[in-house]
């Protein structure tokens, strides 16, 4: 294996898992510790699960799973006196998500009698500040996104900013041993210590871009396994910690393209990662060397993410196997819609939405399905109603389900019912529905002043025995 022995000329970063709570094998983690890492870092969140968790204020990862992962990392970091850095706490990185992770961390510290200097970085942005920037014409859409309105901001349950590397560097410079942060640009938790130590910014961010998904960049890939990154003056090395996995030029280069619309440029807070001169080289059977990545500074902006509630959802799941039904399912859906509109004439059709997802017939890609004529011998149907109230969503979904169940279509043989239901009750309340209401860029003059670091000395609790 090509990863060198401990040296002051490199920084070794251990990434245990793609998202805190996804888990990892202890054998892989122990193999990473044996390489004497300088920092353990993990990305705890993503906007991939959609806006619900940001708006509703809870994590998409399980508490017990998060506590297991965090406990292993915390104990290892404190035993070796190296920093532990967690970004996008609680999944969406809002204040309730950060508080939730903090409670777990303090619980672990009490259970294991651990002491450390804790840094907490809040990523929430007050709506008043966003409205002020909006009025000043400072906000720009992030990609193909509509222009922001005041109603978008005021209707948001919460708004977070993707933190850049600077608050993390500041926390480390002030001696923080554990850092918990709200929503953060994914690579920065891995790049923070290298940037503090003066390593190349572009290489540090590119390495972080790979490490944030841990072993997904391997062959075979996994989000629940560990990866080691070693950053040197003019390159970095990537090496999986499970002997069953390998980093290859193809796997690492492919992951570099992950979640990117431009293969050569990756924008982030305060700069663009320029990959036009990046070189990937196979060092040995399981290790890849990456060089040539550059960080180009641009006016500093952070991406804002906001979520607003749009209503409540009720769903019903059913299956159908009648080839006559399947052959005319689109016209049956249209007839069910028409029946609902007629039955509830006093409810405007634009006040609710009704979707029929036909799995086995364009259910995944919808209108983008490249093989729309492919036949299916059975369909899974998800009926989904979204309305301003849960009661109305229940009504619309229930009526759609019963209408489709008993709808008389040409050629129908069975009269007992058209649908098979795997669950009773057949209608399931899915609760609040959110949309991304803010997805825009906010200029920031000083990212450390804008997102200050709060410090706390965590100390073991001392038990006071009552006097006899």
Q: Do 50 and 96 form a contact (C-beta atoms < 8 A)?
A: no
Q: pLDDT at position 465, please?
A: 45
The answer, yes or no, to whether residue 463 has pLDDT greater than 70, is no
Domain ranges within the chain, ordered by starting residue: 11-123+162-300+444-458, 309-435
Which CATH class, in words, describes the domain spanning 309-435?
alpha beta
Q: 157 to each of 52, 54, 152, 272, 314, how far by Cα in Å?
A: 10, 8, 10, 30, 21
d(CA 223, CA 33): 19
Q: How far apart are CA 229 and CA 238, in angstroms?
A: 5
- Block residue for tokens 């965090």: 70
4 has a pLDDT exceeding 70: no
Give this prediction's pTM.
0.92
Calpha distance 14→211 (Å, rounded): 8
Beta bridge partners of 272: 267, 296
Q: pLDDT tens across 146-156, in order?
A: 999 999 999 99
Give the pLDDT confidence of 209-265 residue by residue, as tens digits: 999 999 999 999 999 999 999 999 999 999 999 999 999 999 999 999 988 889 999
Interval 295-335: pLDDT, tens? 999 999 999 999 999 999 999 999 999 999 999 999 999 99
Strands 84-87 and 39-43: parallel
In the chain, % of residues over pLDDT 70: 96
| pLDDT computed for residue 331 by the predictor | 96
Residue 373 confidence (pLDDT): 67
pLDDT band at 462 (very low <50, low <70, confident <90, very high): low
Query: Model confidence over 114-171: pLDDT tens digits?
Result: 999 999 999 999 999 999 999 999 999 998 899 999 999 999 999 999 999 999 999 9
C-alpha–C-alpha distance, residues 159 and 51, integer Å: 11
* In the predicted structure, residue 113 carries a pLDDT above the cut 70: yes
């Amino acid at each position: 294996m090509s990863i060198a022995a401990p040296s002051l000329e490199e920084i070794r970063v251990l990434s245990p898992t793609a998202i805190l709570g996804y888990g990892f094998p202890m054998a892989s983690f122990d193999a990473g510790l044996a390489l004497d890492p300088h920092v353990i870092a993990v990305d705890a969140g993503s906007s991939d699960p959609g806006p619900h968790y940001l708006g509703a204020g809870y994590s998409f990862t399980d508490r017990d799973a998060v506590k297991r992962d965090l406990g292993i990392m915390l104990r290892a970091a404190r035993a070796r006196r190296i920093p532990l850095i967690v970004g996008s706490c609680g999944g969406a990185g809002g204040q309730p998500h950060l508080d939730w992770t903090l409670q777990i961390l303090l619980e672990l510290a009490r259970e294991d009698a651990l002491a450390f200097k804790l840094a907490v970085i809040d990523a929430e942005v007050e709506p008043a500040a966003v409205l002020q920037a909006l009025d000043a014409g400072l906000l720009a859409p992030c990609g193909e996104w509509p222009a922001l309105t005041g109603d978008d901001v005021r209707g948001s349950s919460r708004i977070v900013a993707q933190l850049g590397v600077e608050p993390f560097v500041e926390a480390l410079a002030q001696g923080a041993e554990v850092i918990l942060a709200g929503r953060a640009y994914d690579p920065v938790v891995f790049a923070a210590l290298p940037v503090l130590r003066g390593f190349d910014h572009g290489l540090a961010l590119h390495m972080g871009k790979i490490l944030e998904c841990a072993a997904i960049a391997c062959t075979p890939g996994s989000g629940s396994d560990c990866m080691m990154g070693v950053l040197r003056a003019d390159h970095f090395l990537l090496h999986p910690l499970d002997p069953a996995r390998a980093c290859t030029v193809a796997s690492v280069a492919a992951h570099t393209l992950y979640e990117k619309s431009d293969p050569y440029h990756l924008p982030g807070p305060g700069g663009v990662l320029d990959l036009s001169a990046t070189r990937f080289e196979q060092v040995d059977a399981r290790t890849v060397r990456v060089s040539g990545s550059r960080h180009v500074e641009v006016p500093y902006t952070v991406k804002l993410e906001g979520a607003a509630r749009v209503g409540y959802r009720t769903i019903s799941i059913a299956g159908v196997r009648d080839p006559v039904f399947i052959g005319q399912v689109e016209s049956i859906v249209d007839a069910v819609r028409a029946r609902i509109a007629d039955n509830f004439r006093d409810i405007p059709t634009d006040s609710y939405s009704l979707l029929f997802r036909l799995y086995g017939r364009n259910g995944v890609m919808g209108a983008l399905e490249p093989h729309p004529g492919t036949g299916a011998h059975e369909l899974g149907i998800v009926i989904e109603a979204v309305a301003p109230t849960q009661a109305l969503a229940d009504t619309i979904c229930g009526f759609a389900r019963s209408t489709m169940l008993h709808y008389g279509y040409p050629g129908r043989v069975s009269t007992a019912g058209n649908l098979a239901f795997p669950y009773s009750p057949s209608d399931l309340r899915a609760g609040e529905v959110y949309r991304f209401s803010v997805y825009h860029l906010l200029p920031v003059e000083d990212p450390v002043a804008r997102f200050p670091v709060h410090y706390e000395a965590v100390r073991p609790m001392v038990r006071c025995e009552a006097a006899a």
